[in-house]
Chain A
Amino acid sequence: MRVLRAAFEPIGRSTLALLEYLGGLALLLWDGVWWMVVGPLRGKGRIRREESFFQMRRLGIDSLGIVALVIFFVGVILAFQMAYVLKTLGVTEYVANITGVAMTREMAPLLVAMVMTGFSGAAITAEIGTMVVSEEVLALETSALNPVRFLVVPRVLASMVIMPFVSLVATYIGIAGGFFVGNALLGIEAEKYLSRTLDSLKYKDIFTGLVKAEAFGVLVALIACHEGFHVTGGAEGVGRATTNAVVRSIVAIIVCDALFTAFFYYFL
């Protein structure tokens, strides 16, 4: 009995902690959606448009360079790895099909989400966490300015708008990376490579990629905000929360990605 208890108690406790965490996230999401839709309609407080645009620029434009760099090389890697197998089958030109589909459905949204996590997720947590520590959030609250409307809505909204866009751009650049390998190094003719890419892509591939990007965008911003609001214990707490935000976002993105991928595989 004691052994059983020793074995299961930690599991039970961490399950509870996980559920509590997910509950907290869901609550924040609900609050965010409320202040995005219901609140403005009822005249409780408008969406801060300028701040949202500012966040979009910060999230999107600023991260685009790194995203482009990373995804180009992912395209290169993907093409080489595919060619390694496909060559033995004598169908090297299929590199184009596979790179195109994998980029669109999977690699672009996933890698953009990863870059965003390190890039803007961490920044959001640090920013909000610092505001909590310096009593700025308390000042907002006591001035009848809801912190969710004020801080969460612009960031989640920006992430929702920017992520599919960046993901789409990343898809092109990733395919360009694959094209570079396929055309310049493996000797697949340009026209053939491009027509193969286009032929193998269906609208639903683009659609599923965008759905993923959208979901990841919400996740990254939401988790970052959540961690920021729960900072305790000064500057040190901000550092801890930032690490937490990145780690938790990555786990959440991967799990979410697996669920989406399975769903799309069977039902779409």
Chain B
Amino acid sequence: MATVRKDAAAPAAREAAVTGKGPVPPGKARSRTKRSTLPLTIGSGLLGLLIWVVLANIGIQGFPGPLEVAERAVTSIGDGTLLGDALASLRRVLTGFVLGVALAVPVGFLMGWYPVIRGLIEPWLQFFRMVPPLAIIPLAIVLMGIDETPKIFVIFLASFLSSVVSTFQGVVSVDSTLINAARVLGAKDRTVFTGVVVPASTPFILVGMRIGLGASWATVVAAELIAAQEGLGYRMQQAQLYYDLPTIFVQLIVIGLIGLIMDRALLLAERRLTNWQERR
């Protein structure tokens, strides 16, 4: 079994890659940055809004201002289309994501635990990781028709690929001393696996899930642009046909917000579940 400690700091490093934040300095420095973020965030929002107003007013052809977009948002909330579209997109993402993770975690564990399985699966994994999930859509539509199946399949693929790699990495980077510590206390393979390998790799799995959810969300919107009867991407596609810029803006903002909320929620879950980690 491969239990070489490769890079204990990997989850933290990858997290930094996800959030775009570098490692947080300990102690005082951290609380200082925390205090100063909120005013900056508000200021940044106001500045963005200002630039938007200016852009709308210097008259780029058809460029809607914040008010116009807000009005459109209110209408689409009022007639229920926004909620319906958001729910349609979310349903696809969550179905594909849950299926992808549900398969990725056991496969990742098997790959980490049995070198033979790793050897068999890894080449395919590496290959498909290089194929953007969206590139699978034409194939999926031809093979599976234009209903929900191809979209969910593509999302499933996106979340599976990112979660399986991180689960596998989590397993191989479990500290071999912890495994030995369990064994000398009488643990047999099964207990070592459930009692040590699984909890020790959760930080990796959760980081992979977060990356996977981000990838899934990006994929669903794009998939809906290509073929759908409802959903945020579909609504934008329709709006494009009618040069309806306010609607496109509303959809874009909602897509961003939902993505942000999902990411924060998973981040929070991750922090909660892995607060036992020593953060250096």
Q: Do A and B come from one complex?
A: no
Please report A residues at the B interface, Cβ cutoff 8 Å: none
Interfacial residues, chain B to chain A (CB-CB below 8 A): none
